[in-house]
Amino acid sequence: MTENVKEVLMAGCDALGLDLHENQAQSLLTHVQLLEKWNRTHNLTAITEPVDMVVQHLLDSLAIFPWVKPGRLLDVGTGGGFPGLPLAIVAPALDVVLLDSRGKRVQFLRHVQGRLGLENVVLENCRVENYKSETKFDTLTARAFTSLSNMVGLCEGVLGNGTRLVAMKGAEPVEEIEQLKVDHARLAEMNIQAQKLSVPFLQAERHLVIIDF
Query: Rounded to whole angstroms, how far apart are CA atoms 35 and 107?
Result: 12
How far apart are alpha carbons 75 and 55 in whole angstroms? Answer: 19
> In Å, how far are 100, 178, 195 from 175, measured between CA atoms?
27, 5, 15
Amino acid 144: pLDDT:
83
159 close to 184: Cβ distance less than 8 angstroms: no
Question: Which residue in 212, 173, 201 sits closest to 62, CA to CA?
Answer: 201
Interval 142-163: pLDDT, tens: 998 899 999 999 999 999 999 9
Percentage of residues of the chain with pLDDT beyond 90: 92
DSSP 8-state secondary structure symbol assigned to residue 189? T
The whole model's pTM is what? Answer: 0.95
Domains and CATH numbers, the chain: 60-212 (3.40.50.150)
Task: Tell me how far apart the terminal alpha carbons of the chain are, to the nearest angstrom.
Answer: 41
Reported as a single tens digit per residue, the pLDDT across 167-206 is: 999 999 999 999 999 999 999 988 898 999 999 999 999 9
As a whole number of angstroms, the distance between CA 110 and CA 99 comes to 12
